[in-house]
A and B are shown apart, each in its own frame.
Chain A
């Protein structure tokens, strides 16, 4: 089943069109990755799906319902959560308070969920009371993902979680993403790092606001032309 479907979306900022008609589908329970260089429109696509940018054309479906133009605070309610690439934590709040803010719209008791997230990212447990702004880059990414997970999302939109991280931490983040996926969370992952393909089931390659290639991640990895052209091999 396609949990998320983007049909011919045209979108951008003001008079600047960034996406020139992009379609993607995300199957429930899978990891789908959007690869491409800077300026390819990957982030804009995520922001458009999440309602932060309004598409001028095209439609977005979630579980078969048209969600085009729904404001972001509603997205969290229906089961979509978004982790921006930068400024994705509240720096002067503590780690625990960041997670509480992730659960802001929950009216029920979320302490169990918080403990669960601390168990996903054990490194954060000792830093509960630390200011989030004092965390290292890797821990910040984990906290950012943890914040989004507080609402038990069905689909997690992740924007370049590997940015600026040491290779060993990149491996760790991708391993955690895989783990979350095994817990049943569908993941749409934007990356410049081709390593993301090894975690993904399916991949799209984007450039200049258009889709250039798509297919099972393994096939794209094996494809020499794509490797040379887009993956820097």
Chain B
């Protein structure tokens, strides 16, 4: 049970990273970006490009402390994040911005984002094929406590990196002028416009934050499990549930929603077959929405 909770927190932290970016974009543009999961896949594979390169050049191959991975993956975070940010901004510029300009309904953007998702996954399949890939081969060390509770050492790294990223974004949104303007924009777009806040310029920031978080989520998920082209697309369901649970546009809500989803899914496997995990997540989501239709921290309907 405790083991499942620990694993739930690990998974929940990764879900939270993905859902924060998703809800930020949703809050500002009313777009529910279905490509977010596949952007996560691209983030994970971008890091794989660099770990493969480092392996080929035989540099940065020393293991990091007690963890299963080497310094290559730690360094690979940086270029992978940059690629992910550029991809996010480019998708918005070339796909969603023209749709916004045309003033289409948000459902059109939703459908378009499914198209983007399939396109991204297609590219991943073309380049890397359908096989599983690993950042590092070999054993994954575990810690076993006297009480019999055990977990993988890598999970400590995953939780720390997740929460550092969350802290970073929290500080950005609450302490900087740009971050505050992003929150203002999600709060009340017409008033932001009246205050002279440039919506399109702010959106570049929003997509950059989303791109950063989703790349970190993708790499961490890759460390925890393995790389496969469907990893992000399947991950979209818990992201979706976490965001809805938290309430549209609520960053803190997405954080809580992500943790709830991660823990609930894992703990449920104590009684149910693991294949029921997504169902458990959605039952919780539906129950919450029956009693709080706006989500845990969502805005009340206007």
Contacts and interface: CB of A to CB of B under 8 A. Distances in A.
Interface of A: 50, 52, 72-73, 76-77, 82, 84, 87-93, 97, 100-102, 104-105, 147
A76 B191 contact: no
B196 A87 contact: no
B198 A84 contact: no
A50 B190 CA distance: 12
Nearest to A88: B191
A101 B190 CA distance: 13
Interface residues of B, number: 20
B195 interface: yes
B140 interface: no
Given A97-B180, A100-B180, A101-B180, A90 B193 contact: no
B236 to A, nearest CB: 26
Nearest to A98: B184
Interface string B38-82: 000000000000000000000000000000000000000000000
Contacts of A50: 194
B197 A104 contact: yes
Contacts of B183: 90, 92-93, 97
A90 B191 contact: yes
A82 B250 CA distance: 27
B224 interface: no
A93 B180 contact: yes
B177, B180, B196 pick with most chain A CB within 10 angstroms: B196
B192 interface: yes
A166 to B, nearest CB: 22
Contacts of B250: 92
A93 B180 CA distance: 8
Contacts of A101: 180-181, 184, 192, 195, 197
Contacts of A52: 190, 193-194
Given A73-B193, A101-B180, A101-B181, A93 B198 contact: no
B216 to A, nearest CB: 25
Contacts of A102: 195
29 contacts: A50-B194, A52-B190, A52-B193, A52-B194, A72-B196, A73-B197, A76-B194, A76-B195, A84-B190, A84-B191, A87-B191, A89-B191, A90-B183, A90-B192, A91-B187, A91-B299, A92-B250, A93-B184, A93-B187, A101-B181, A101-B184, A101-B192, A102-B195, A104-B177, A104-B181, A104-B195, A104-B197, A105-B195, A105-B196
A81 B294 CA distance: 32
Nearest to B180: A97
B302 interface: yes
A88 B193 CA distance: 12
A123 B262 CA distance: 44
B225 interface: no
B188 interface: yes
A89 B183 CA distance: 12
Contacts of A87: 188, 190-191, 302
B65 to A, nearest CB: 40
A91 B188 contact: yes
Contacts of B193: 52, 72-73
B198 A73 contact: yes
Contacts of A104: 177, 181, 195-197
Contacts of B192: 90, 101
A108 to B, nearest CB: 13
